[in-house]
Amino acid sequence: MPALTLALHRLGQSLWIDTITRAMLDDGSLAGMIERLGITGLTSNPSIFNQALHGTAAYDDAVAEKVRRGLSGESLFFELAIEDLVRAADLFRPIHDRTGGVDGWVSLEVSPTLAYDARRTIDSALDLHRRAARPNLFIKIPGTAEGLPAIEEATFAGVPVNVTLLFTCEHYLAAAEAWMRGIERRIEAGLPARVCSVASLFISRWDAATASLPRHLANTVGIAVGRQCYRAYRDLIASDRFQRLANFGALPQRLLFASTGTKDPSLPATFYVDALAAPHTVNTLPEKTLLAFADHGAVTGIVSAGGGNAEETLAAVERTGVDLDAIGATLQRDGAASFVKSWHDLLAVVEEKSRATAGAGA
């Protein structure tokens, strides 16, 4: 394992890969990353599956078989996705077992078109988790206002949730509240309290959204928001409320730093990974960022439980007239819309492959 990857593991930060393809599973690439690079989990989303399906024949036989069974659209896609993620979950299962459920997770997202429909999100989460039948598979649910009831209900039903599309400290705390309510209801009902979760905070999009800041504040917002949320996270798991849940066997809902690949080409590829080395968290990286970090990352210090200078940085940003709350709301709304677009693009690729394989069979 590279020295930097090992150093992060020793301080308690997990590195997860933010990609999946059937080719990675078939040729042993994913297994090799686990062994050589020390990744301990995996996330997926519609954009990732769109890229995996587009322009490759790796899924053609599976698509043809499902078309013959009469599947199409979302139903066909979710069968493909579950097949891939079940295989990935099995690769990470020894890590999951060894860490008592803290690590070794993979994630599958409900349809992004349900981001503002709590009831259908709950139904989809329950169905996908049942079909995958793996203890180390998270169902991704967006942390929109409408998604919060689904997070609570899915947690109460025993479904592990990866809360996605979080951008602000307020978003994070609302997601944590929904998860804790679900755990508290389980305790009241006499059910086991250990239903794991992560809260995924998107980092790099902040700096793209605040690119007009003065030079001395450029590319500071994403890291500052990450550190601000880390302080809130550490305060929460030290609180009497969470400690009561821990007494019943609950594990913390871990804070996950997502979108940590750089969007500004002038920044080092490892910019966000280097600056967010935080104990008891997860960082999920694109493959390019992971390889760059393993090769030449430069961790600049461990994030303090108090968040370092995050509040001072954000206050300085707001003094320039930037409304961070408004930007956070826009980022969440635009993120949900972007996921929907990726979802429709993905289903178009599925439909194209379905027609092609049907035609070839004819």
Active site residues: 140
3-state secondary structure of 283: strand
C-alpha closest to that of 214 among 317, 65, 114, 129:
317
CA distance linking residue 108 with residue 45, whole number of Å:
7
Bridge partners for 255 per DSSP: 199, 281
Q: Give the tokens for residue 25.
A: 């599973």
C-alpha closest to that of 257 among 208, 207, 210, 201:
201
Residues 6+ apart with CB under 8 A from 29: 23
CA distance linking residue 107 with residue 136, whole number of Å:
9
C-alpha closest to that of 90 among 157, 25, 167, 170:
25
